[in-house]
Amino acid sequence: MSHSLRSTVIGTGNVGAPLGRRLTSLGYHVAFGARDVAAAAEKLPYAWVMSQKEATADADVVILTVPASVALGTAKGLDLRPGTIPVDTTNPVKWEGGPVWDPPAEGSMAAALAAALPGVRVVMGFSHFTGRT
């Protein structure tokens, strides 16, 4: 079964790679956006990999799987057209001898992204935090 929804996964790490692989196996058209396209293409030989901005140009859904510390900067650099739905998978944690909950002033990364991307509807999903707060 093939789906017409065009999805982009920004990030090719522990969250992005398996999530994109699963969506692809379900018949979704998935592009991966990466900072280092050559390294990501080598890591994900089954995937369609391109720059982050190129990968988002025609996407209906953009799944942001980068660390929370770079999520705002990354999102601001994407080519999000009107109607594109960004999905925030990040957890705002910092590491100080272990994970420490460190939400932005807005209260969540999704709220911070929504504030930084006016007119874009941000969704939070595919996220969980297992550390102690």
Backbone conformation region of residue 41, classed left if phi is above 0, alpha if psi is from -120 to 50, else beta? alpha
End-to-end CA distance of the chain: 42
How many Cα atoms within 13 Å fall on the side-chain side of residue 122? Answer: 20
Q: Quick: pLDDT tens for 13-51.
A: 999 999 999 998 998 889 999 999 999 999 998 889 999
**Amino acid code (one letter) for 5:** L
In the chain, the percentage of residues whose pLDDT exceeds 90 is 60
- Structural domains in the chain, CATH included, are 6-122 (3.40.50.720)
pTM over 0.85: yes
Three-state secondary structure call for residue 91: coil
Under DSSP, the state recorded for 105 is T
**Looking at the DSSP assignment, which residues form a beta bridge with residue 63?**
9, 87
